[in-house]
Homo-oligomer: A and B are copies of this chain.
Amino acid sequence: MSVTRPAGFVASGGAGGIKPEGKLDLALVATADGAAVPAAGVFTTNKAAAAPVQVSRRHLAASGQRAAAVLLTSGNANAATGPAGVAACEALCGEVARLLRPDEGIAAEAVLICQTGLIGFPFPLEVVRPRLPALVAGRGPGREQAELAARAIMTTDTVPKEVAVEGEGWTVGGMAKGAAMLSPRMATMLAVLTTDAVVEPAVLQAALRQAIEPTFNRLSVDGATSTNDTVLVLASGASGRRPSADALAAALTDACGRLARQMAQDAEGGTKVAVVRVEGALDDEEAHRAARKVAESQLVQCSLNGADPYWGRVVSELGAAQVAFELDRVRVAYGGVEVCRAGVAVPHDTEAVAAHLAGREVEITCDLGLGTGRAAVLTTDLSEGYLAENRRTS
């Protein structure tokens, strides 16, 4: 259940001196033989994209969508750090490339980089660089090394997030941290996926994009799109099996979905995981917009925290979502129990609703009654823990 589960990959984790007191903050995922293999990536849409996002994008393009390794660091986002931040990323990638194949070497463009942490602080390149040899030397295919890597990318996460999905003779593995900018001190969601399937870069890129849409792109804790969000996948081909594009996309979607759920469950301060489903919208895109509006509402998130069945806030957010909407067609249900029909309150089993809302997993379903569009967005409650975590960075 990790990035080394598929054949042909190694991982490593270590302390790079970015975080205080020798905490884990460096991770490596690489091909076992240091060869560049088909790779794909999806990056944040934030226009203040961090240096590692700029560099990884460039490397993927320059290498014809192939990569031999991903270096990940936590504790400093290397965002809003100007040209010096970009130069630090290039130096780190070059150093890892040299260390991976000391004899012949590989191109720096074959190394991708993900970083997460505080925005706006210079990256301590000279502190980190001397720790890279130990990181690279420590790589291996074992479960332990993979878990060390998954731990090294944690910031305010309380548990590492790993996944494995079995295909027919091939496998997808993965690890991730955080969700949106719900991780205040350290920002960012990062995920690295691996597979031993045989696949061309273009097919891999399409499958990754397809996998992200219903998973990571349907998760919102606080509506903040970070400067560093990155999802990468490397395909070693070591299984010798070539799945259909659909089978590969399905496995990646499964893996991303399970990582997204782990992120929601470990959201900062969160006490609930909620799925907001919107049905009956004009189209899927409008359903998504409406579901996101409800999911990101501070007031709805407050109600979730208090287990309060106040559906009026849900209806109000739907009305403000800038989608086709007719109040007298709206239905709302908590955990399958209808509380609003035709836009007004209906008698219902209040104890069943209270019991549902008291649980850790909550489902809010909204039927707009207008079309066949549907979407679901995963979110959490707004808690005192979130506030306490995010008041101060130091």
Contact residues of A with B, CB < 8 Å? 45-49, 77, 79-82, 84, 118-122, 181, 184, 187, 222-227, 297-299, 302-303, 305-306, 308, 310-313, 315-320, 325-328, 330, 340, 342-345, 382-384, 386-387, 390-394
Contact = CB atoms under 8 A, between A and B. Distances in A.
Contacts of A317: 224
22 contacts: A46-B320, A47-B319, A47-B327, A48-B315, A48-B325, A48-B327, A49-B319, A49-B327, A79-B316, A80-B327, A80-B343, A82-B328, A118-B310, A119-B312, A222-B298, A224-B297, A226-B316, A299-B390, A302-B391, A305-B387, A308-B393, A310-B393
A305 B306 CA distance: 21
A391 B303 contact: yes
Contacts of A316: 46, 48, 79, 119, 181, 187, 224-227
Contacts of A387: 302, 305, 382-384, 387
A390 B226 CA distance: 27
Contacts of A330: 48
B390 A302 contact: yes
Contact of A184 (B120, B223, B299, B393): B299
Contact of A298 (B187, B224, B313): B224
A95 to B, nearest CB: 23
The SS class assigned to the A binding surface is: loop
Contacts of A315: 48, 79-80, 119-120, 227
A383 B298 CA distance: 12
A327 B119 CA distance: 13
A286 to B, nearest CB: 12
A46 B319 contact: yes
A312 B222 contact: no
A366 to B, nearest CB: 12
Given A224-B297, A299-B224, A387-B384, A320 B392 contact: no
Contacts of A391: 302-303, 305-306, 308
Contacts of A181: 299, 313, 316
B47 A325 contact: yes
A345 B47 contact: no
A298 B221 CA distance: 10
A120 B227 contact: no
Given A47-B326, A80-B315, A224-B298, 7 more contacts: A47-B325, A118-B310, A181-B299, A181-B313, A184-B302, A224-B297, A298-B390
Contacts of A313: 119, 181, 224
Contacts of A299: 181, 184, 222, 224, 390
Contacts of A47: 319-320, 325-327
